[in-house]
Amino acid sequence: MTDAITSPAGLTPDEGERVEAAASAGTFIGRRDGSVAVWKGIRYAEAPVGPLRWRAPRPAPAAAEPVTALAFGNASPQELVPEMHLGEGVALSEDCLFLNVWSPSASLPSNSDPAPARPVMVWIHGGAYTYGAASQPVYDGAALASIGDVVIVTVNYRLGALGYLDLTSFATDTEQFDSNLALRDVLLALEWVRDNIAAFGGDPDAVTVFGESAGAGMITALLATPSAEGLFHRAIAESSPASSMYGPARSKLVAEHFLAEARMGEGPIGEVRSMPVSAIVEAATRVYSSVPSESPGLLAFAPVVDGDLLPEHPITVLHQGRGLPVPLIIGTNHDEATLFKFMKSPLMPITPAAITTMMQRLASENPDAVLPSREQLLGAYEGVRSRAVGLGIARDIGFRMPTVWLVEGHSTIAPTYLYRFDWATPMLRLIGMAAAHATELPYVWGNLDSNRRDYTFALGGRRTGEEISDRMTQWWTSFAATGTPGSEWPSYDADRASLVIDRTDRVEHDLDAGLRKGWGDAVLSFT
């Protein structure tokens, strides 16, 4: 492989300075933007269409001619929602397996002046396993790459039914299907990074995977995926729904539900490969909403504990300290569930009836676990207004407790850093969102102005927000470079240290003592 960057001549003034990265996958033409060079829309896999729909991804062949990589690739088909702007001019298509690279200009290697390789951070976006794209403005990697002197990679992968529907139980001699398609997409993207990132100034031996929400769920799944070993060396999981992954029995029920919604009837299963993609999205959207409405606490689409690629439930593996032994930052936000209430989303069980149904299901699916009594559980929420207790329970069963269960085990095999994001601007507190799910994202990325319609700072808090962003970008990129976020943030270890991120940060020991007492010793997951 030739690790070389050159600047082609003959550009028109509005195109700016372009740069070429010569890698084993081909030569890619990007653009230099100030102190950062960026390549967008690099194909890492063949289009997963036709006979490749619901099959494992295949690596894209090396490009014979230089590839212009100046625009984001397609996003995975999905129902468009106003709360999630995918980026200007971004199209939806099954042909969506693309990635993007931001690299500090000073890191770009050349034949005459080789530069030291920079740490690499690979982002897996969230969106309830159904929405989102790497092209979302908040994920623009220019600020993070420049501030942290790291190479940033963002990845598109298949979503919803196209990425998570498990049709393996319907396979025939002539029609084969693979499980965990989205997880396989991410693994293939990581293989691309391993084989090509040096041409963009990155160090393939210093790769950090990081993600939020469903992306963080993918991170915790990767930590329990044996074939992921060696593809990354550190991990960051922001608000991981780590317990919301299911086995083949439940995935088959979801598949049957999908086929019924798609009106497939008793026809040959192979007909699913000729369905219009719009029909797949429409059926998947109905399943996405109906599953958690009928079975509170469950998601329709998520990684599948298939006994193959993902042999065991990540919660079990990580709680027992058997995951990939890489350093880990993991945490949640103080008010995770308020976003779901604000959006009227069915994903989080907030009402007393939904919570009761969820707890009954957990009891039936975890027969060997001793679940807390109602009195014991409510004891964890003393002092919480009665109408907010449901939000607290939903937050903790969905995000905080799985994180606590996970760190208890992972901290025994690798340095582990736990946080809770508590900061909320006056406006977010006024409307009842506070430190809701995903509100940490602009601070992590250093992109406080990515959404022009955002009212987060309408009532103040901008200066504090900038200071928090400065700290978070430094912690995240320092971790990517060294495996530690800094001396002011101690690892979890025996004293259960947690960093509380707020206007003034603080380290607390056994921050979750009350929750652990209220929820008891049971480690719970849906199966």
Q: Identify whether 385 is part of a domain.
A: no
**Polymer length in residues for the chain:** 527
SS3 467: helix
- pLDDT tens for the 527 residues of the chain, in order: 334 444 343 333 345 689 999 999 999 999 998 899 999 999 999 999 999 999 999 999 999 999 999 999 999 999 998 888 999 999 999 999 999 999 998 777 765 567 789 999 999 999 999 999 999 999 999 999 999 999 999 999 999 999 999 999 999 999 999 999 999 999 999 999 999 999 999 999 999 999 999 999 999 999 999 999 999 999 999 999 999 999 999 999 999 999 999 987 677 898 999 999 999 999 999 999 999 888 888 899 999 999 999 999 999 999 999 999 999 999 999 999 999 888 888 888 888 888 888 888 888 878 877 778 888 988 999 888 877 898 999 999 999 999 999 999 999 999 999 999 999 999 999 999 999 999 999 999 999 998 877 889 999 999 999 999 999 999 999 999 999 999 999 999 989 999 999 999 999 999 999 999 999 887 877 67
Q: Are strands 67-68 and 26-33 parallel, antiparallel or unpaired?
A: parallel
Q: What is the pLDDT of residue 526?
A: 67
Strand partners, 499: 419, 507
Q: Which residues are catalytic?
A: 213, 336, 437
Q: What is the pLDDT of residue 298?
A: 87
Q: Identify whether 376 is part of a domain.
A: no
Q: Identify whether 524 is part of a domain.
A: no
3-class SS string, 426-451: HHHHHCCCCCECCCCHHHHHCCCCCC
Rg (CA), the chain: 22
CB 53 within 8 A of CB 67: no
Q: Are strands 497-501 and 67-68 parallel, antiparallel or unpaired?
A: unpaired
Q: Identify whether 364 is part of a domain.
A: no
Q: Identify whether 500 is part of a domain.
A: no
* Domain around 442: 4-350+392-493
Q: Which DSSP symbol is given to 369?
A: S
CATH code, domain with 31: 3.40.50.1820
Looking at the 3D structure of the chain, how many domains does it have? 1
Q: What is the pLDDT of residue 1?
A: 35
Q: What is the pLDDT of residue 110?
A: 66
CB 421 within 8 A of CB 257: no
CB 365 within 8 A of CB 509: no
Q: Identify whether 375 is part of a domain.
A: no
Q: pTM of this prediction?
A: 0.95
**Residue 483, Ramachandran bin (φ over 0: left; ψ between -120 and 50: alpha; else beta):** left
Q: In terms of DSSP H, where are the helices of 224-365?
A: 248-261, 277-294, 314-319, 338-342, 352-365
User: Tokens in use for 458?
Assistant: 């309408």
Exposure string over 309-348, b if 16+ CB within 10 A, otherwise e: bbeebbbbbbbeebbbebbbbbbbbbbbbbbbbeeebbbb
CB 427 within 8 A of CB 456: yes
Q: What is the pLDDT of residue 12?
A: 39
Q: Identify whether 287 is part of a domain.
A: yes
Q: What is the pLDDT of residue 302?
A: 97
Q: Identify whether 373 is part of a domain.
A: no
